[in-house]
Structure 1
Amino acid sequence: MDTIYLTGLSFFANHGLFEEEARLGQRFIVDLKCELDLSAASKSDKYEDTVCYGSLAKLVESVVTNNRFNLIERLAGAICEAVLDYDSRIERVSITLHKPSAPVPVATGCFKVEITQQRI
């Protein structure tokens, strides 16, 4: 299985349990890993033999910015579902979702979840 990575995609959105998170919003960072067969693209050098990275990035942006979830686990799951629906060549997708400004009682750090889903 081959892999396409999109890392460090950064979006401002309003996810979280607390009213302030819904009202004020915060930054979310997405790392996307798509597993698929890229052998045709690696031989042909043809655009249609791969998955469009720009379209994947816009899809992730749409899920992150046009929805509202309490949990980053659910947001990551929604991104996985959208990516698998986007292109049937993608067999497995992993999302690492970073929430660097989580409202917790520590001075620094980043909280993140990783969700993986695959085609059945």
Structure 2
Amino acid sequence: MAEPFTGDRIILKDLGFYGYHGVFAEEEKLGQRFFIDLELGADLSVPAATDRLSTGISYADIYDVVKATFETKRTKMLEALAQNICDQLFASFQGVTWVIIRIRKPEAPIAMVRGEAAIELHRRRKQ
């Protein structure tokens, strides 16, 4: 079995969303911007060899799963949001063997002049 988080991958970066995730009442009421970076491990040898869209995983479909999950269930913690997205990606795409997800929150309610708060999860498909 291959080591996790190595090999072929699909990468989507800076997916922007507006949402109401967070602990504080202001976050639930006003919302804020979130940015998501994804890496999905999958064997890309067949689409690389055949150049046929039907043999790969659609980037648009990945985005749709992330967007639907992001918008469906409000979470207090970024960790829970990221886990929900990982779970849905595994459920939706059988060829995905691992996921690295980073969720960035540039307007986190902390006193920082510049920068952003973020979390990153590394998950592999359960056997």
TM range (shorter): over 0.9
AA at the equivalent of 2:53? Y
Q: 1:42 aligns with which of 48, 72, 85?
A: 48
Report the equivalent of 1:102.
Answer: 108
Partners of 1:27 and 1:65 lie apart in 2 by: 13
**5+ residue gaps in structure 2?**
1-6
Report the equivalent of 2:4.
Answer: none
Give the secondary-structure state (helix, strand or coil) at the position aligned to 1:5.
Answer: strand
* Identity between Structure 1 and Structure 2 (%): 32
AA at the equivalent of 1:34? L
1:2 aligns with 2:8: yes
Deviations 1:72-105 (A, max 9, x none): 0111111111111111100001101000000002
Report the equivalent of 2:3.
Answer: none
AA at the equivalent of 1:74? A
TM-score, scaled to structure 2: 0.91
Report the equivalent of 1:116.
Answer: 122
Report the equivalent of 1:57.
Answer: 63
1:76 aligns with 2:86: no
Partners of 2:112 and 2:100 lie apart in 1 by: 28
Deviations 1:22-78 (A, max 9, x none): 000000100010001000000001111110100101111111122100000111111
Partners of 1:10 and 1:106 lie apart in 2 by: 21
Q: CA RMSD in A?
A: 0.8
**5+ residue gaps in structure 1?**
none
